Amino acid sequence: MSETRTTETTDIPETGGTSGTSGLLDSPSSLEEKAAGLDAADELAKHREKFVLDDTVYLDGNSLGALPAHVPARVADVVARQWGDLRIRSWGESGWWTAPERIGDRIAPIVGAGEGRIVVGDSTSVNVFKAVVAGTRLAGEGRDEILADATTFPTDGYIAESAARLTGHRITFLDPDEIPAAVSERTALALVNHVDYRSGRLRDLPGLTAALHAAGALAVWDLCHSAGALPVGLDEHGVDLAVGCTYKYLNGGPGSPAYLYVAERHQDRFDSPLPGWNSHADPFGMTPAYEAAEGAVRGRVGTPDILSMLALEAALDVWDGVRIEDVRAKSLALTDFFLECVRAYAPVGRVASATPEAHEERGSQVALRCAEAPAVMDELIRRGVVGDLRRPDVLRFGFTPLYVGFADVERAARVLGEVLRDIPAA
């Protein structure tokens, strides 16, 4: 597998203070006042009360979303009544059997898909394997190449390499910007991350999908860092296959099941490399020969993980009445304001943004390169600002618009500035 490219960085413009001093362009009081005004005008602020939060600033929802407050009681009912009292009857009476498709239809509007195109279950890694291998089968003979995102989350690369070995395809790792020039009549598909997990860079899903289709290839997208943060438009842009997790911006809980999207036009030919009894046309017939079910059900494998799946279903209630376009607008406003505050508070030369400034190239996170990143993140967390670290030098901050406010953003940047002044430069 080729080496992942180093993410480009952009210096934070010189509006911050000199080493050891605060910024002079905006004082803490003026930025606090601005944050208060932005929070007062925020139409999504009312959703914050739906989550279990404390007095920390939680900017790690791009790794694990916060707990929706009503989920524990719903899960308690699943355990005590559905499992404890009804037991096996819950497969029918409580709707356990249809949960993978029912919950898929709940996720569909968030990612721009119609009903019957998404099935929930298994992990993202397993669904990447299904999508890549099934994609090579859909592409047909003569297309013996897989293109893969060289900046991808490592597991996607591992799975794509293994799928290529199993199917006899060669695999080429490229920066996504290089894919349009590289795709050819030999290309079966390209596997690309919609948002880069390190830098937060948003890739051109419509443009790359169109370029692949123009060459007769398929587009397979990983939506882990975009679903629930910005519009995706799977149906609108003709995406062939997509996968994603549900424990980040969808707040489904640790290890909550992932999902697989299969475009309607491909469903009758979708040939899963993991044909389990749950995707059989007659699952309780227990016949030796496999016959695939109709539709996205073909993406199922074994018995659904009901406890975590129904916790996810409950968590998705926070999306009732929420427009993903409004989420995107607030996401951009939050990340813009964070960068503004970092410019004001961070000592000059200590951090550089690895996240694009242009809105059309930015997801819902900000990555700051910092030579002292491990020590800085440890101290940020100790002082009540929770982000995460990507070794060796990336401070990563995720902005979940349903529960992160502008006062959170100002506080996080102010504390970051304090920590950078307290920790000597390397």
Q: Which residues are annotated as a binding site for pyridoxal 5'-phosphate?
A: 124-125, 153-156, 222, 225, 247, 277, 303
Catalytic residue among 153, 261, 270, 406: 153
Contact (Cβ atoms closer than 8 angstroms) between residue 299 and residue 260: yes
Two tokens at 37?
A: 């005004």
Length of the chain: 426
DSSP letters spanning 230-278: S---TTTTT--EEEE-SSSTT---TT---EEEE-GGGGGG---SS--GG
State how far the Cα of 167 lies from the Cα of 338, in Å rounded to an integer: 45
247 catalytic? Reply is yes
Given 50, 130, 198, 248, the catalytic residue: 248
* Binding residue positions: 124-125, 153-156, 222, 225, 247, 277, 303
Query: Of the listed 198, 396, 411, 414, which one is catalytic?
Result: 396
Q: Is 421 helix (H, G, I), strand (E, B) or coil?
A: helix
Strands (E), 310-391: 352-353, 365-369, 385-386, 388-390
User: Would residue 282 show up in a list of annotated catalytic residues for this protein?
Assistant: no
* 34 is an active site residue: no
Nearest in space to 62 (alpha carbons), one of 175, 157, 198, 220: 198
Amino acid at 20: G
Query: Residue 193: how many CB atoms within 10 A of its CB?
Result: 24
Running DSSP on this structure, what letter comes out for residue 392? T
Q: How many CA atoms lie within 13 A of 57 on its CB side?
A: 26
Catalytic residue list contains 222: yes
Q: Report how far apart, in Å, the C-alpha atoms of 308 and of each of 10, 72, 126, 188, 347 are.
A: 40, 11, 16, 34, 44
Rg, C-alpha atoms of the chain = 23
50 is annotated as an active-site residue: no
**Among 247, 259, 261, 270, which one carries the catalytic annotation?**
247
Q: What residues are annotated to the active site?
A: 153, 222, 247-248, 396
